[in-house]
Structure 1
Amino acid sequence: MRTVAPLHPDSWLQKPAHIAWLAAEGMRLLPFARASRVDQGFAALDACGRLPEPACAELIHTTRMTHCFALAHIQGIPGYAELLDHGIGALQGALRDTEFGGWFADAARAGDKSAYLHAFVALAASSARMAGRPGAQALLDEAIAVLEARFWSEEEGALRENLSRDWGQEEAYRGANSNMHATEAFLALADATGDTLWLQRALRIAERVIHGHAATRGHVVVEHFDQEWEALPDYNDDRRADPFRPYGSTPGHSFEWARLLLHLEAALQAAELPAPDWLLADACGLFARASRDAWNADGAPGLVYTLDWASQPVVRARLHWVHAEAIAAAAALLKRTGEPAYEDWYRCFWEFSASRFMDLQNGSWHHELDTSNQPASSIWPGKPDLYHAYQAILLPRLPLAKSLATALAV
């Protein structure tokens, strides 16, 4: 089975000017993120690209910045090797738990160990390894060891969620979000190590979360589960706008999953491993349902953050990461199928994002828009995240079969 389809000559993905525009936007995004450096890693920036007082290094920002700076270095953009090395050093130093293993959520060095964040450690380490930086291989080896010993459940074919600092207590919860980012990390690990076991594990996660749950519910991603993988549809009904575990369905994750299923299909085929037909079918189903239900859901353009189980808007804010993932998913499906509808969506999402999210005055992208599509900060204050927007300008230019760092390194 082919993993790519011919593109129409008029496709934006074929236009040299569009490709140059994507590259230019990447060069605009990167300098803004440099200011996130602090002594112990990378921290969140405010809306103007400044570090608030006090600024604390966080694992989520340190891993994502390290990953992005690795991608910049691999592309041959000067000035990011030192920042990449700083990220590696932080992950081997201030944010690493030398007593019990694993990584702290921030430089305050307290709290539980999170599967979600440890997946990003593995992603950052994989990208740093592909960039050939000192210490990256040791970091990668440690990230793999922690994932396998503490988070991966062979019986479940998925990751456990949160564990106490000493690993002795486990949260009675399973999450689609952490397992989605594990799928992304496992694709990168397969490339960085050459071990196809990671592809097989990614397939097991996707089969459970997407083919086993989302596909049977009309391609709506179920986010929250108990330890037996029974769905928890009322989870966080009292915290509907939670930035990581919101109530209801999250269309942005449907787009993200759709893209990852196509990368997984291509990676399996490149490794001459069986790639089930449902990977493409579910990717198409996820995209179709999310774009139908979330775009213009309340009468205004843009994709809403969350929906209830009747596909009605719950949190109507527009988040930048949702649109970045929609862009990347549309590009992936366009490359995979060649169908004109994905070209239309790709252009639609970019037109909205370029006019609403890109902040040409203060830099980067607004991370949140309110119901009137004006900049807001009720869920995501400031501009701490380079990862989603930067990947959105890279993924349309790259093939499906390689993880980002590997594709850029070729």
Structure 2
Amino acid sequence: MLLASPQATRWLDDDTHRLFLAEDARRQFAFFRHSLRADGGFHQLDVDGTPRPTQVQELHATTRMIHSFALGKLAGLDKGDDMIAHGLSYLGAGHHDAQYGGYIWARDGKDISDGRKLAYGHVFVLLAAASAHAAGHSTALGLLDQADQVLTQRFWEEDHGLFADEWNRDWTPFSSYRGMNANMHGVEALLAAFEATGRKHFLKRAGRILSFFMDTIAPQYDWRIPEHYTADWQVDPAYAGDPMFRPAGHTPGHSVEWARLWLQYGALTGTDVEDGARKIVYRALHDAWDESRGGGLIYTLDFDGQPAIRDRYWWPVTEAIGVLAALLKTGGTAEDEAWYHKMWQFADAHLIDHNQGGWFPELDDDNRPKARQFAGKPDIYHALQADILPLLPERANIYDGLRALIPPKL
């Protein structure tokens, strides 16, 4: 299948490109349907779609599956209801902590393998609930209310206007760590909750988080956004946690994700944030595009803006696609269009699994799939949004846009 018509310049309006996006989304849904577990929750999948032997189920994976199939239902790309209901059931039976409240991070079969209470996981509960509610699931609004209550009582720091990160299972202190990532996905979830319910406190909180990172932090660091902070929200340049989930320095993939969310907030509030968002996007693209290996975006930079972890994963490319599509929907520039083409050409050539469905999560130096940090295909969430967001007619309410979408047909 062609990525776009040979004569097309503006791909967002090109019928061939739109058909390509819809078909890749459909193939992703078909692939990840294999993850459904008869005994509750979802399997982790190998690259061929067979269940991996592990029994571990993590909160972010469960919630992202719910969110993704809700988007598919709204867009008319997958019926979705069975997967959404299955995931919601496991959130209650598997992840919800009936003893202490909130949601545990991970189970290994029937056993709790990681009982921590993480803001990162709880904001994804809010996101899943918002999307399931928008898709018409009757229990989702109660889940949204519950997630909002836990986030407010346990994680939200009103003085700072930001989310703290982590507690032990019984809500005793775990660490004083503060992080950018949980707050970035917090903005994503808060905007979704606002779009699903119209409740303005969600939008207000998203704005406060964005103000700190976009208006205060990003300009101080040459439009890069540090990952890690102290308990009083000072940048912590010495912090080096897990090299996969809490790497030191800056993560360009997160920068483009932030910029997309900022543009979404701007569209919802009528605020002009395009100039700042564009500075963040092009700082990240120019820093991270790996021309020497034929493309892709390197994972992290140090505080001097030099490459640190040079691994290339699928998700930064998907997020770059999402923000470039958002910029193009405001009119865009020739440079935006060229980068949008470049990202999709790289993804089509090296990341999309045209045989099995889904995207390969990481590449070796020769742009072949490898499995070092990621086993199998971790989730549908990032790549699906790269397919769906460019199809939307405008940047305002995503759920309304999905409902109005008439998917291209084969």
TM-score by structure 2 length? 0.92
Map of 1:394 onto structure 2? 388
RMSD between aligned alpha carbons?
1.6
Does the alignment pair 1:118 with 2:122?
yes
Cα distance in structure 2, aligned partners of 1:200 and 1:138? 21
State how 1:77-116 maps to structure 2 within 5 Å. Answer: 77=77, 79-107=79-107, 108-109=111-112, 110-116=114-120
8 Å CA contact retained: 1:189, 1:198: yes
Kindly state the Cα deviation for residue 265 of structure 1 after the two structures are TM-superposed.
0.2
Map of 1:49 onto structure 2? 49
Kindly state the Cα deviation for residue 117 of structure 1 after the two structures are TM-superposed.
0.9
Cα deviation code 1:327-357 (max 9, x no counterpart): 1111111112421110000000000001000
Kindly state the Cα deviation for residue 40 of structure 1 after the two structures are TM-superposed.
2.9
**What secondary structure, in the 3-state scheme, does the structure 1 residue paired with 2:56 have?**
coil
Amino acid at match of 2:380: L
Identity among equivalent pairs (%): 40
Cα distance in structure 1, aligned partners of 2:99 and 2:118? 17
Map of 2:3 onto structure 1? none
Cα distance in structure 2, aligned partners of 1:127 and 1:357? 27
Cα distance in structure 2, aligned partners of 1:164 and 1:379? 26
Amino acid at match of 2:102: G
**What secondary structure, in the 3-state scheme, does the structure 2 residue paired with 1:57 have?**
strand
Map of 1:301 onto structure 2? 295
Cα distance in structure 2, aligned partners of 1:320 and 1:259? 17
Cα distance in structure 1, aligned partners of 2:71 and 2:196? 14
Map of 2:245 onto structure 1? 244
Tell me: CA distance 1:159–1:356, structure 2 relative to 1, closer, same or farther (3 Å): same
**What secondary structure, in the 3-state scheme, does the structure 2 residue paired with 1:48 have?**
coil
Map of 2:215 onto structure 1? 211
8 Å CA contact retained: 2:31, 2:356: no
**What secondary structure, in the 3-state scheme, does the structure 2 residue paired with 1:376 have?**
coil
8 Å CA contact retained: 1:41, 1:58: no
State how 1:12-91 maps to structure 2 within 5 Å. Answer: 12-38=11-37, 39-77=39-77, 79-91=79-91
Map of 2:239 onto structure 1? 235
Map of 1:147 onto structure 2? 151
Amino acid at match of 1:16: D
State how 1:263-342 maps to structure 2 within 5 Å. Answer: 263-269=264-270, 275=271, 277=272, 279-296=273-290, 298=292, 300-342=294-336
Amino acid at match of 1:102: G
Could you tell which deviates more after superposition, 65-74 or 45-54? 45-54
**What secondary structure, in the 3-state scheme, does the structure 2 residue paired with 1:32 have?**
helix
Among residues 176, 186, 195, which one is paired with 1:182 in the alignment? 186
8 Å CA contact retained: 1:318, 1:373: no
Cα distance in structure 2, aligned partners of 1:208 and 1:217? 13
Map of 2:372 onto structure 1? 378
Kindly state the Cα deviation for residue 298 of structure 1 after the two structures are TM-superposed.
4.7
Map of 1:6 onto structure 2? none
8 Å CA contact retained: 2:287, 2:305: yes
Cα distance in structure 2, aligned partners of 1:406 and 1:380? 34
Could you tell which deviates more after superposition, 192-201 or 258-267? 192-201
Kindly state the Cα deviation for residue 81 of structure 1 after the two structures are TM-superposed.
0.9
Cα deviation code 1:208-227 (max 9, x no counterpart): 12221122111011110011
8 Å CA contact retained: 2:321, 2:344: yes
8 Å CA contact retained: 1:258, 1:286: yes
Kindly state the Cα deviation for residue 75 of structure 1 after the two structures are TM-superposed.
2.5
Cα distance in structure 2, aligned partners of 1:373 and 1:312? 21
Amino acid at match of 2:396: A
8 Å CA contact retained: 1:119, 1:181: yes
Cα deviation code 1:261-289 (max 9, x no counterpart): 100000112xxxxx2x4x32221111110
Kindly state the Cα deviation for residue 184 of structure 1 after the two structures are TM-superposed.
0.4
Amino acid at match of 1:206: L
8 Å CA contact retained: 1:316, 1:370: no
8 Å CA contact retained: 1:43, 1:384: no
Kindly state the Cα deviation for residue 290 of structure 1 after the two structures are TM-superposed.
0.6
Cα distance in structure 1, aligned partners of 2:369 and 2:129? 33
Kindly state the Cα deviation for residue 133 of structure 1 after the two structures are TM-superposed.
1.2
8 Å CA contact retained: 1:334, 1:340: no
8 Å CA contact retained: 1:297, 1:303: no
Gaps of at least 5 residues in structure 2 are 1-7, 405-410
Kindly state the Cα deviation for residue 172 of structure 1 after the two structures are TM-superposed.
0.6
Map of 1:166 onto structure 2? 170
Cα deviation code 1:42-82 (max 9, x no counterpart): 23212221212232322111100011111112223454211
Cα distance in structure 2, aligned partners of 1:267 and 1:12? 25
Gaps of at least 5 residues in structure 1 are 1-8, 270-274
Tell me: CA distance 1:89–1:22, structure 2 relative to 1, closer, same or farther (3 Å): same
Does the alignment pair 1:197 with 2:201?
yes
Amino acid at match of 1:101: G
Cα distance in structure 1, aligned partners of 2:125 and 2:59? 8
Cα distance in structure 2, aligned partners of 1:126 and 1:23? 23
Cα distance in structure 2, aligned partners of 1:85 and 1:372? 41
Cα deviation code 1:1-28 (max 9, x no counterpart): xxxxxxxx84101111111111111011
Cα deviation code 1:125-148 (max 9, x no counterpart): 000000111311211111111111
Kindly state the Cα deviation for residue 372 of structure 1 after the two structures are TM-superposed.
2.3
Tell me: CA distance 1:267–1:170, structure 2 relative to 1, closer, same or farther (3 Å): farther
**What secondary structure, in the 3-state scheme, does the structure 2 residue paired with 1:67 have?**
helix
